[in-house]
A and B are shown apart, each in its own frame.
Chain A
Amino acid sequence: MSDANLTATTRSADLDGKTRDRRAFDRSFGQQWLRKLALPIALVALLAGFALADDRILTSYNLLNIAQQTSYLALFAMAQMVVILTRGFDLSLGPTVSMVSVGAALAMAGMGGGEAGGLVVVTAALAAGLALAVACGLFNGVVVALLGVSPLVATLGSMNIAIGVATTISDGRPVQGVPSAFSQVFYTGSLLGLPIAIVIALVVGVALAFVLSRTVFGRSLYIIGTNPQAAAVAGIPVKRLLVYAYLLCSALAALGALMMTARTGSGEPNLGGTLSLQSIAAAVVGGTSLAGGRGGVATAVLGALFITILSNGMNLTRIDGYVQMIVLGAIVILGVVLDRLRLSAR
C-alpha cells in the first residue's frame, strides 16, 4: 500500500445520497399528476368563484376578452421563461416594451404616418422595434454571459438604460400618429374568427414549444439551467447560447410591445410599467423554477392565464387597483413558495 495514496473525499458522494433519499419520496404517479394539475384546478376554481360573484364573467364575450388579454401577458411570460430556464432573469423586459413602443411609433411617424403604404409602415415599425430589442437583448446577454455579471444587476442596469432611452426619445409624452394599417396588423385584424393577438400568441407558443423540446438550442438551454458547468465541459457553447436566450427574450417582448402599441394606438413611454414583475410572476406561478432547468411554454401560458383571470375578475367585481397590486405581490411570493415545495418534494 502506498504512502502517497491521497484520495479525494467520498463525502460528496455520500451527501448526494441524501438528495436521492428525498427524491425517492414521491415516485408515485398520483402525486406527480396532482402537482401538474394543481394550477388548472386553481384556474377553474378561480373562474367559478368569480362567476358566482358576477354573472358577466362567464359570458362568451368576456371569455374571449380574457383570452385576448392573456395573449399579451403570455407572450411576456414566455419571454421571461426562456431566460429563467437558464437561471437568469430579465428585469428590463418592461422598459424594453416601453422603449420598443415609442421607438416603433416614432419610426412610423417618421415614415409619414398613414400616408405611406401599410406595408412600409409595418416594416418600419418592425425594424425599429426589433433593432431596439436586439440592442437590449444583446447588452443583457453580453453583460451576463461574457462579463459574468449576475443577471439581476445586468438587467437592473439595462432596465434603467431602457427607461432613459424610452423617455428621452419620446420626451416623456405619448407618441401619436400610429397609422391604422399598423393597428390592422397587430390588433384589430383577425384570422379564422380569432383576434390577431390570440393568433400571434398561439403561433409563438407552438413555435417556442417546438424550439424548446425538439431543437439542440432548446435542449441546451435546459442543460445549461440544470448544470452550467457540466454544459460547458460537454462542449455546449454556454456563453453564446445565453446571449441567444436574452436576445430571444427581448425579441418576444418587442413583439408583445408592438401588439400593445397597436392596441393603445400610440407609443407609450410607460407602456411596460409593471410588466417585468407580471411576467416573472406569471412564469413562476405557472411552475417555471427559479433554480433553472424546469419549465416550458405550458407553465408560462398557464401562469399568464391565472393572473389575467384574477385581474379580470377583480376588475369586474370592482376591486381597487391598489388592492390588485397587493394581490400581485402576494402571488409572486406564493409562486416562490410553490416552487420551493415542488423542489423539496423531489
Chain B
Amino acid sequence: MSKVLMKGNEAICDAAIRAGCKAFFGYPITPQNEVPEYMAKKLADAGGVFVQAESETSAINMVYGAAAAGVRVMTSSSSPGIALKQEGISYLVGADLPCVIVSISRAGPGLGGILPGQGDYFQSTRGGGNGDYYLPVYAPFSIQEAMDLVFKAFDVADEYRTPVMILADGMLGQMMEPCEPIAKKPNITDHKWAANGQADKRDRNVVTSLSLKGEILEEMVERRFKTYEEIKTKETMVDNRVQDGDEVALVAYGTPSRIVLNAIEMLKEQGIKAGLIRPITLWPFPYADFQNLPSSVKNVVVCELSMGQMVEDVRLGVNGKLPVHFYGRTGGMIFEPEEIAEQVKKIVGGGK
C-alpha cells in the first residue's frame, strides 16, 4: 500500500477499523475530536456501530457492554475524560474484558489546557481506577507507529483479555505525516466467554467483576498478575538507540522524544555523544534496558512534558547505578531541542 498523508487522530481510526473494530463509543473533548468524528463517518460502512454517549462515564460503560458481548470495541478521550473513564476501566479489568482506549492527553490538572502534555503517565500506568491492576500502555511517537500500535493493541487486548491503552499527546493527534495503512489481517478469535445471548448453543455466560468471597477474588487477581508476568516477558517494547561510547542516555516517550532526537543531533555537533531510550510500552516498562546500559554512559537524563512521572520508572530501572536527571516543561509548554542540549551540557560539565 502506498503512503498517504494522515492526521494522527484519523490514522488511529483507520488502523482500528482495519483491526476489526466494530463499535466505538465516545464523547467530545479537545484534542481528540477527530477520532469520534472519523468513526461517526466511517464505522458504519465497515459494519460497525458508533454512539455518541452522554458522558465519558457512559461511553466507557457502553464499551464494557460491547466488550462483554465479545465485540472489538474502542473509545477515545483526553485527560479529564480519561479520569472519568477510570471507573469503567477498573470494571473492564475486573471482568477480564478486552478493549482499546485511546488517550490523547493534554495539560492538567483539572480542566488544565488543551495543549499537549504528559502529566497522565501515572494515570495511565498506575491506574486511576480502584483495585490491583495494570494495563498495557503504548506510546507512539509517529503516525505510522500509532497505526501499527493501534492495530496491535486489539490483538493484545484479545489475547490477554485486558483493556489496552494508546497514550499519545495532542501533538501526535493533530499532526500529519506520511504513513502506510495496514494491509495485514487482524487475529480475530471467537470469544467463548462472551455474554451475547447464545445460551441455546452453549452454557449461559456471565460477565462480572464481583466476587464476595475473598479467597476466590484473591485467586482471580493472582491469576491476572500471572498474565501480567507473561505480558512483561512477551510484550515489552522499547526503541533503544544508546550505543557503546555514548556518555549520556536521554529518555523520552511519545512525540517529545522527537524533540530529544533533534537535541541529540545538536549535542553530536558539539562533541557530546548521547543516545535515546524511548519506551514504547509504558507498562510494561522496559526496566531491563536501564540495567544494561553501556559502561560509557555516565548520566541518564529524562525529558517529559510534565513535572516528572516516567522518571520514577527510570530510577527503578537504573536502580541507583547512575545519576538520573530530569528536565520537563508543563502547562502545554513544549521544550526546544536547544533547551535540552543546554541541560545535558550542564550535566556533563559544559561543552567540549
Q: Do A and B bind each other?
A: no
Residues of A at under 8 Å CB distance from B? none
Q: Give the interface of B toward A (CB within 8 A).
A: none
